[in-house]
């Protein structure tokens, strides 16, 4: 098909998320009907960043909609690393808590790896503990970071071929870039990980059948960075002049990409849905049901 006449599908991440949430809701309901307690997620918020507070509220609302319990632990921005770890350790010891999420970023001076490393790996619904990250690397069952899982569901739902495909990931974060690269590789894609020191980023991107942008640079990916027919996944969330902006110039890639995720109702709802799925998984693993 001519690049100019291609019909680009704008992914409806919310519709897909709602379908999966219906299934999760049924699974939770089955547990409750059988006389068991509902799965419970504990979220920890440090400081008063409005974006983080809003994400946390969204996650708790999503829990409640599928019948899961949640609890929020707020600490001031002045909390020490040890004070945050003390909260995590209390949640580790609380048998009613199945999943623990410490909202990132943490205030300056707090070592995020030390905090996420304190979470019981069985309750690590972000997949950030070294045990889960290592198990993912080895291809063993584990709790896996939510955004990468959401991206894989989107690609699966849109029947994007991954076997032998060229996948390019921009960004090498522990929470998105690294785990999504491994998941794509598990599906037999040939994965290139790009980052701020990559020499000719545009040329790398132009080779991609699947392009994942997760770097937080607004509108980085332009029309002429995209191979005709590529699946383009935009994970970036930046605010420019008060407007939510992604890493991809979504309008510009219309007519070139096969699918593209929008800034709103794209990857975001899927990330939250995978958090629910991970919480249910942690509950079933822990309770043996
Ligand atoms: N901040 C932005 N995204 C995430 C996420 O997926 N998990 C956590 N813990 N913090 C985040």
Of the listed 59, 153, 187, 227, which one is catalytic? 59
**pLDDT number for residue 186:** 98
Expressed in angstroms and rounded, the spacing between residue 153 Cα and the centre of ligand 1 is: 18
Residues sharing a CB contact under 8 Å with residue 281, sequence separation 6 or more, in sequence order: 143
**pLDDT number for residue 103:** 98
pLDDT digit string (tens) for 99-113? Answer: 999 999 999 999 999
**pLDDT number for residue 55:** 95
pLDDT, average across residues 246-264? 97
Expressed in angstroms and rounded, the spacing between residue 104 Cα and the centre of ligand 1 is: 5
CB-ligand 1 contact for 104 (6 Å cutoff): yes
Does residue 1 carry a pLDDT above 70?
Answer: no
Q: How does residue 6 score in pLDDT terms, banded at 50, 70 and 90?
A: confident
* CATH topology classification for 145-267: Rossmann fold (3.40.50)
pLDDT digit string (tens) for 51-108? Answer: 999 999 999 999 999 999 999 999 999 999 999 999 999 999 999 999 999 999 999 9
**pLDDT number for residue 4:** 55
59 is catalytic: yes
CB-ligand 1 contact for 175 (6 Å cutoff): yes
**pLDDT number for residue 2:** 53
Q: Whose CA is nearest to atom 1 of ligand 1?
A: 104
126 is catalytic: yes
Expressed in angstroms and rounded, the spacing between residue 151 Cα and the centre of ligand 1 is: 15
CA 212 to CA 193: how far, in whole Å? 10
Write the DSSP string, 15-30: HHHHHHHHHHHHHHHH
**pLDDT number for residue 228:** 98
Q: Which secondary structure element, helix H or strand E, spans residue 245, and what is its range?
A: strand 243-245
Pocket test for ligand 1, best of 104, 112, 171, 174 (most atoms within 8 A of CB): 104
CA 151 to CA 271: how far, in whole Å? 8
pLDDT, average across residues 231-240? 95
Does residue 245 carry a pLDDT above 90?
Answer: yes
pLDDT digit string (tens) for 202-216? Answer: 999 999 999 999 999
Calculate what percentage of the chain has a pLDDT beyond 70.
98
Expressed in angstroms and rounded, the spacing between residue 146 Cα and the centre of ligand 1 is: 9
CATH number of 35-123: 3.40.50.10860
CB-ligand 1 contact for 101 (6 Å cutoff): yes
Of the listed 69, 98, 124, 126, which one is catalytic? 126
Beta-carbon count within 10 A of 138 CB: 8
Summary mean pLDDT of the chain = 97
Omega into 105 within 30° of 0, i.e. cis?
A: yes
**pLDDT number for residue 237:** 92
pLDDT, average across residues 187-203? 97
**pLDDT number for residue 39:** 98
Which atom of ligand 1 is the closest one to the Cα of 271?
6
Write the DSSP string, 166-178: EEEEE---TTTHH
Calculate what percentage of the chain has a pLDDT beyond 90.
97
Domains in the chain: boundaries: 35-123, 145-267
Domains 35-123 and 145-267 in one fold: yes
Which atom of ligand 1 is the closest one to the Cα of 101?
9
243 is catalytic: no
pLDDT, average across residues 129-134? 98
Pocket test for ligand 1, best of 54, 117, 126, 129 (most atoms within 8 A of CB): 126
Nearest by Cα to 97 from 108, 82, 110, 87: 87
CB-ligand 1 contact for 261 (6 Å cutoff): no
Does residue 3 carry a pLDDT above 50?
Answer: no
């Amino acid at each position: 098909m001519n690049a100019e006449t291609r019909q680009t599908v704008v992914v409806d991440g919310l519709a897909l998320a709602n379908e999966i949430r219906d299934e999760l809701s049924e699974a939770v309901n089955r547990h409750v009907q059988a006389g068991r307690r509902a799965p419970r997620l504990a979220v920890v918020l440090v400081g008063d960043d409005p974006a983080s507070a809003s994400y946390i509220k969204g996650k708790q609302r999503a829990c409640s909609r599928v019948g899961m319990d949640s609890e929020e632990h707020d600490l001031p921005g002045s909390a020490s690393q040890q004070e945050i770890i003390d909260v995590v350790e209390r949640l580790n010891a609380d048998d009613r808590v199945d999943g623990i999420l410490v909202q990132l970023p943490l205030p300056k001076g707090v070592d995020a790896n030390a905090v996420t490393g304190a979470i019981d790996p069985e309750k690590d619904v972000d997949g950030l503990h070294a045990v889960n990250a290592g198990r993912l690397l080895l291809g063993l069952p584990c709790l896996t970071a939510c955004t990468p899982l959401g991206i894989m569901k989107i690609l699966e739902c849109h029947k994007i071929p991954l076997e032998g495909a060229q996948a390019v990931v921009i960004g090498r974060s522990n929470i998105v870039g690294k785990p999504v690269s491994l998941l794509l590789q598990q599906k037999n894609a040939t994965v290139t990980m790009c980052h701020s020191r990559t020499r000719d980023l545009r040329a790398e991107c132009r080779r991609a059948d699947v392009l994942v942008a997760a770097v937080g640079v607004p509108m980085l990916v332009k029309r002429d960075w995209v191979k005709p027919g590529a699946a383009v996944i935009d994970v970036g969330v930046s605010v420019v002049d008060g407007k939510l902006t992604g890493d991809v110039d979504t309008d510009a890639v219309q007519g070139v990409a096969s699918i593209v995720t929008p800034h709103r109702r794209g990857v975001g709802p899927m990330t939250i849905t995978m958090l629910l799925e991970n919480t249910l998984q942690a509950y079933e693993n822990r309770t043996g049901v």
